[in-house]
Structure 1
């Protein structure tokens, strides 16, 4: 088992990564939370069918009646309605300020459950128990949110978990398209913050079948380490943390314009990263081997071009509504080299040309 300490201005907390470590959950609760009155596990239908009873049985070693609330699977669950249902359930079942919420699932569950915890009685503790590779990114850093028709994660807060318990055995049932989706974020972390790790990825991971056991654990550990370093320096995205959005400006626009859930987050980010690499090469007149990276992406069946049915003008408007946009200008995270990022405002006319040429 690996342990990584996540240090931010508001909270320092542990992240445990390893196989068959879910049984440590009662001890993690004891070590990271004060006296706990009640525990509520929020999970989705897919994960609950596989792991919820096991987690509840483990919790019963310490808590007489751990509670659970199951939400629909998929991005559509990050809505006002589902958020309100969770709050209502918590109130009806007598949760108080000494209660703890456990987020058992992928990024959707983590974002939603974390936002419920952040807003219930003005904030109670929660623990992330990720079950997807994609959640290695969202489980750390404290950004919790729900979606709005105008954009992804537009309604949210910063609320750090008390701990992250990452049992890689819970990913054995993960569909390949979801594993691929999470791998996009792993690649992102290498590209923006760890050249050596990126090199390891391109050498050691040449198919999704390679993402298991020690290699999977190493990929998660290194990916999270990049994010943890950035978050420790800029918890609330005032500056440096924006680099974590590499590939997301276009990626989020594609997700929103396609209709949430029609394309996975990772597939959208993969397209966005290739686009950001191309834009970087054009603007800075450099060679980042974008075509070679594009071919490597194809080994995992990532899409590498914008879906033909999406209008470039509408994508531009979506990008302008991005949370990082300033004064109506799109702000993109670009690379000057692998591991060296720069944030640049791009005007509408130039960006539309770049989108049409991509």
Structure 2
């Protein structure tokens, strides 16, 4: 078992990573000072597998827990579903110390966190991420949100959980594609922050793909350490935290152009990372050998490097609706090498379009 501390002053919390964390979770609940009434939000995929077991653990810690199940999928990350959860919270009599637990992937965590941030102006929130992607990405750092018809995550807040518990034994039921999508974000951490970690992934591809226990704990913990280090320095994304968006500018355009259906998030980020590496090389910031290493690792970890169903014109238009675009200038996170990135808002249109064209499947 590994613990990673997210240092944010009074908002600090621990990420607990390991196998069989029932006793740790129960002990945390017993000492947290929560009101007795609690809500456990899960989805129609995860709930039948783990909902009752987690409810029993929380109730052994002294809570009275109601499980609320939402339909699985990105479409549940909406104001309409949020309103149903608000209604349920009011019906259950949740007060300002009543905890909301999120058991599931990124959709569940983002939605439940958004409810926790806004119900009664903020109630305690605990993340129990079950997907690899959620464990290394959305469950850490306090970003919570719902989608709007015109874009992802446009309605949200920064709201830190009281704790994050990652019981990796729950990953045994993950489909292969869900493992691969999480690896997309894990690769990102090596590129933006830690060349040695990137090399570790290159050297342990089979252990990484099979989620061998030691490799799984290491790569998840290291990813969380990197994200925690960045978030601790820049909680509200005013500067450094922007580096966590490496690959995401092009990825969000790909997701939008394919209706959020063809590619899941990690797959789109993988394509976007190759695109960002390509832009970096075109600007003379890195060598072609660095682009080749990024592309090779992404391919070896069973992730795509080109997108089907997109056009350059549509993707280029989409990037101006990205949250990172300020005053009409797109803030690109670009490579200075493996393990180091920087932000630039002066990338010429022709360079962006050329990189996008290279990422579109023929």
**Under a length normalisation based on structure 2, what TM-score does the superposition of the two structures give?**
0.95
Residue of structure 1 equivalent to 2:183: 183
SS in 1 for 2:223: helix
Within-5 A mapping of 1:46-195: 46-63=45-62, 65-135=64-134, 136-195=136-195
Checking the alignment, whether the CA contact within 8 Å between 1:143 and 1:156 is kept in structure 2 is: yes
Residue of structure 2 equivalent to 1:227: 227
**Under a length normalisation based on structure 1, what TM-score does the superposition of the two structures give?**
0.96
Deviation at 1:80, TM superposition (A): 1.0
Within-5 A mapping of 1:1-358: 1-9=1-9, 11-31=11-31, 33-63=32-62, 65-135=64-134, 136-206=136-206, 209-287=209-287, 288-307=289-308, 309-345=309-345, 346-358=347-359
Checking the alignment, whether the CA contact within 8 Å between 1:179 and 1:208 is kept in structure 2 is: no
Cα-to-partner distance string for 1:234-284 (whole Å, 9 max, x where unaligned): 000001100000001011111112112331100000000011111111112
SS in 2 for 1:196: helix
Give the Cα–Cα distance (whole angstroms) in 1 for the partners of residues 282 and 350 of structure 2: 15
Give the Cα–Cα distance (whole angstroms) in 1 for the partners of residues 2 and 91 of structure 2: 38
SS in 1 for 2:283: helix
Give the Cα–Cα distance (whole angstroms) in 2 for the partners of residues 291 and 149 of structure 1: 36
Structure 2: runs of 5 or more not aligned = none
Structure 1: runs of 5 or more not aligned = none
SS in 2 for 1:286: coil
Checking the alignment, whether the CA contact within 8 Å between 1:205 and 1:211 is kept in structure 2 is: no
SS in 2 for 1:289: helix
SS in 2 for 1:46: coil
Deviation at 1:303, TM superposition (A): 1.0
Deviation at 1:125, TM superposition (A): 0.8
For the aligned residues, what is the CA RMSD? Answer: 1.5
Decide whether aligned partners of structure 1 residues 311 and 109 sit closer, same or farther in structure 2, where only a CA change above 3 A counts.
Answer: same
